Chain A
Amino acid sequence: MSFVIPFLLVVFALIATGALLARLSRTNTSTDKNNTSAMIEQVNAVLPQTQCAQCGYPGCRPYASAIIEQNEQINRCPPGGDKTITDLSNLLGTPVIPLNNECGVVKPPLVAIIDESVCIGCTLCIQACPVDAIVGASKLMHTVIQNECTGCELCLPPCPVDCIELLTPQQTAADWQWPRPA
């Protein structure tokens, strides 16, 4: 009879350790998940939020998820250019690689402008705009909210009358910068 008690104790101890380990591993997975989403958040913050989909993903956040979850390359963002690649490599501890030219080329910041006299009001560009920067209604003129436009060019292909143009934004007093001293 006396050997039963230590045996029971060992069993209890084993059960307790098992339960503890199970709990620990569960918290581990949840922190992993937290870590992943935090990393996605950090990568997303580095991306320029142009939402142009040139990287092959439908927007900046999906690309950020792909970088973290599917080990996607960090050189697929033409609007971000070299700066984004450097920032991402600093963040993720990966080497700096040149921009993937298949995704696109680096361009100066642009904004879309609709030639309102040509627009037929088809609403196709409104549906294409990833940041809801175009206002208008069916068979009525459309216009771009300049401040919200990211210059992603996604409105260009659907336009049936080619009335959208991308221009370098006009310099305003608010974003004028002092020249760099010699």
Chain B
Amino acid sequence: MNTLLNTLATRLGFHNQQPPFSFHGGLPLNPNKRALGESIVEPPLPPYLIIPLINYAKQSLTPTVAVGDSVRRGQLLAAGVVAPTSGKIKAIKPHATIHPDTLAVNAIVLHCDGEDKRGNPSASDNPQELGGASDNLSRLIKLRSSGKQSQMQQLVDQFALSGLGGAGFPTAEKLLGNTTPVKTLIINAAECEPEISCDEALIQSDAIDIVKGIDAAVQLSQCDQCIVAIEDSKPAAIENLQSALKDKPTAAQLMIIPTRYPTGAESPLIECVTGKYIPHNQKPTDHGVVCINIATALALWHALDNAPLDSRVLSLGGQSMPNPCNVRVRFGTTVNFILHSTGNNSVVNDHRIRAGGPLSGFDLQNLSVPITAHTNCILAEPRVEITDAQACIRCGQCADVCPARLLPQQLHWHAMADDLNGCKQFQLDACIECGCCDLVCPSSIKLTETFRYAKSQARFRDTLELKAVAAEQRFTEREHRLEQRALARKRAIEERKKTIQSSSEPDREEIKAALARARAKRQPKQSR
């Protein structure tokens, strides 16, 4: 009924007139935050960590350390990657990662020495540079206002900050790299997906530092207003944030938004907070909106305080998890180790282990894969028979719940027919893979799976096309260069001919004499 009313309201254009605004589609889901407990569990350091050398754009990174090197916690291993603890680099080789197909990428295997010694050897040479958090913040702001981009970048690189929400976009770029001024900074504390409660747990334990981080983000982004958006189903977290915000005067305001999946995704959240729907082919920054996760704000504060981002809190949940909890783990800890060290080892063999939420995640085939900045959740679910999909009956419920305002039933035909142009026409790129359409489909069609497939196909086709264009350009340029070279050679020959013809009689005599000498020299050689 609620869905129906909401849909009706959106269709008729009755939006809420003041914030929080409503967004198109979505579903009220049972939050089911099993993992939320009294405190965050801190498992021991694992014997080794595996750090994949890949960035958020899936480009491989070049390591700045070699096998055999001893590293300290916080030392740079590659651009934007720091050592999560101290130890020795044992190997740099391809290793399986958290990936639907357990794809192997080049990774650093770091054997932990257990001492967890912090500090960058190069930075400790001049300790006066290693100021406190507020010093670093004011230094960054000064560098920014004086336009010293490269120095600012150097400082920011050491933070190793990446978004902790899900996509892992480099946070510093969001806050500092804007060409258009930031009007609204949104701190995303919505955490809308069922089972995931790592941000909520952080707010309950660390609200004061979080508010410091939010304040730093406000100062760095130079925004006009800052809104901390949190779902109304988290009363304890709201109370904590409210009191922390009262203690530290900042420009940030708390906005309590309705609990409706997927408010925590970027575009529905922006629509909810500002009332503006940002089309998929535009960036929020084009509209002066920047959105960062609340855990990232805390990470920013720690990074300013000389503790680069090297760990995260993640939720262990799901129907079959015997001991659901939120754990703080270093990047590179394997899923297997996390499950064993939290007393959840019984699920390893006969359950479905999922990385990411129940809707947006995927099943893992291999558990010795390392967690990264964007692994927010590990679920254990019973193995169930997958119900066979029935034919689409064109009920249109998927279109009603789609937060990206797409027509999933239409897209489904195009995707299954491998009609990528049709998919493009119906704006498949805008799909945020939230899984709402799967939940409501009465024929249990796996729509999101189909869209993921078609999206990756389209991406692959685009890269092939780009490659073809580049090859064509290189071919034409080479042809042009060869032509020019042939022309230049022809011209040079003609020029020489002309000079020889125009040369005077004595010159010619000289040439003849030289030729004769050369011939004479060659003669004995040939006869030998």
Q: Which residues of A contact B (CB under 8 A)?
A: 44, 48-51, 59-61, 130-133, 147-148, 150, 171-181
- Cβ-defined partner of A131 (8 Å) among B58, B449, B455, B471: B471
Q: Is the CB of B474 within 8 A of A133?
A: yes
User: Are A131 and B100 also in contact (CB < 8 A) when A177-B453, A177-B456, A178-B456 are?
Assistant: no
The verdict on A176 contacting B456 (CB below 8 Å), with A49-B468, A171-B103, A181-B446 known, is yes
With known contacts A173-B54, A176-B103, A178-B100, A131–B478 Cβ distance under 8 A: yes
Residue of A nearest to B447 (CB): A181
Residue of B nearest to A47 (CB): B468
Residue of A nearest to B101 (CB): A176
The reply to whether B60 and A172 form a contact with Cβ atoms under 8 Å apart is yes
Please, how many angstroms separate the alpha-carbon atoms of A179 and B102 in the complex? 13
Given A130-B478, A172-B58, A173-B58; A49-B472 close (CB under 8 Å): yes
Judge whether B475 and A130 touch: CB under 8 Å: yes
B463 within 8 A of A: yes
Instruction: For B450, give its contact among A60, A150, A177, A181 (CB under 8 Å).
Output: A181
Across-interface contacts of B54 in A (CB, < 8 A): 173
What is the chain A residue whose CB lies nearest that of B52? A173
Determine the chain A residues whose CB is within 8 A of the CB of B463 once the complex forms.
174-175
Q: Give every chain A residue within 8 A of B449 (Cβ-Cβ).
A: 178, 181
A145 to chain B, nearest CB (A): 10
Cα separation A172 to B463 with both chains bound (whole Å): 13
* Complex: chain B residue closest to A176, CB-CB: B103
In the complex the two chains form, is A148's CB within 8 Å of B475's CB?
A: no
B471 touches A175 (CB 8 A): no
A60 contacts B472, CB within 8 Å? yes
Other than the given A59-B475, A61-B476, 16 more pairs (CB < 8 A) read A51-B475, A61-B475, A131-B471, A131-B478, A132-B474, A133-B474, A148-B474, A150-B471, A171-B103, A174-B59, A175-B460, A176-B101, A179-B101, A179-B453, A181-B446, A181-B450
Q: How far is the CB of A107 from chain B (nearest CB, A)?
A: 15
Give the docked Cα–Cα distance between A176 and B103 (Å).
8
How many B residues have CB within 8 A of the partner chain? Answer: 34
On whether the beta carbons of A148 and B470 are closer than 8 Å, the reply is yes
In the bound assembly, the distance between CA atoms of A93 and B289 in angstroms comes to 49
6 contacts between A and B (CB under 8 A): A61-B476, A131-B471, A173-B103, A174-B58, A177-B456, A179-B101
Least distance between B328 CB and chain A CB atoms (Å):
26
Chain B interface residues toward A at CB < 8 A: 54, 57-60, 97, 99-101, 103, 105, 446, 449-450, 452-453, 455-457, 459-460, 463, 467-472, 474-479
Contact A50 B471 (CB under 8 A): yes
Q: CB distance A148 to B446 under 8 Å?
A: no
| List of A residues within 8 angstroms of B472 by Cβ | 44, 49, 60-61
Q: What residues on B are CB-neighbors of A59 within 8 Å? A: 475, 479
The binding surface of chain A is classed by DSSP as loop
Q: How far is the CB of B484 from chain A (nearest CB, A)?
A: 14
Cα-based distance from A169 to B470 in the complex (angstroms): 18
**Residue contact B453 to A131, C-beta cutoff 8 Å:** no
Chain B hits for A60, CB < 8 A: 472, 475
Main secondary structure of the interface of B (DSSP, over half): helix
Check A177 against B460 for contact (C-beta < 8 Å): yes
Residues of A within 8 A of B97 (CB): 173
- In the complex, what residue of chain B is closest to A152 when comparing beta carbons? B471
Instruction: Write out the residue numbers on chain B whose beta carbons fall within 8 Å of the beta carbon of A44.
Output: 472
Q: Are A181 and B474 in contact (CB under 8 A)?
A: no
Q: Give, as a whole number of angstroms, the nearest-CB distance from A177 to chain B.
A: 4
Q: List residues of chain A with CB within 8 A of the CB of B105.
A: 172-173
Q: Which residues of A contact B477 (CB under 8 A)?
A: 132
Contact B471 A49 (CB under 8 A): yes
> Are A181 and B59 interface neighbours, CB within 8 A?
no
Nearest-neighbor residue (CB-CB) of B478 within chain A: A132
B412 to A: closest C-beta gap in Å = 10
Chain B residue numbers with a CB within 8 Å of A48 are: 468
Between B60, B477, B478, the greatest number of chain A beta carbons within 10 A of the residue's beta carbon is seen for B478
Whether A148 touches B59, Cβ cut-off 8 Å, given contacts A173-B54, A181-B453, is: no
A59-B459 Cα distance, complex, nearest whole Å: 26
Are the CB atoms of B446 and A49 closer together than 8 Å?
Answer: no
Set of chain B residues within 8 Å of A172, measured between Cβ atoms: 58, 60, 105
- Residue of A whose beta carbon sits closest to that of B476: A61
Residues on B with C-beta less than 8 A from A133 are 474
Chain A residues whose C-beta falls within 8 Å of the C-beta of B446 in the assembled complex: 181
> Which residues from chain A contact B471 at a C-beta distance below 8 Å?
49-51, 131, 148, 150
Q: In the complex, what residues of A have CB within 8 A of residue B457's CB? A: 177
Complex CA gap A61/B59 in Å reads 32
**Considering the chains assembled together, what is the distance between the CA atoms of A174 and B479 in angstroms?**
31
Cα of A130 to Cα of B481 in the assembled complex, Å: 12
**Residues of chain A with a CB closer than 8 A to B58's CB:** 172-174
Name, among A49, A50, A171, the residue most crowded by chain B CB atoms within 10 Å (CB to CB): A49
Cα distance, A48 to B101, chains bound together (Å): 29
Chain A residues in 8 Å Cβ range of B459: 175, 177
* CA–CA, A51 and B57, complex, Å: 30
**Which residues on the B side are within 8 Å of A178 (C-beta)?**
100, 449, 452-453, 455-456
* Residues of B with C-beta under 8 A to A171: 103
Q: B101 to chain A: which residues have CB within 8 Å?
A: 176, 179
CB distance from B519 to the nearest CB of A (A): 31
Question: In the bound complex, what is the Cα–Cα distance between A51 and B473 (angstroms)?
Answer: 11
* Chain A: CB-nearest residue to B456: A177
Distance of A87 from chain B, by nearest CB (Å)? 12
In the complex, A61→B17 CA distance in Å?
A: 58
Contacts of B467 in A (CB 8 A): 49, 147, 150
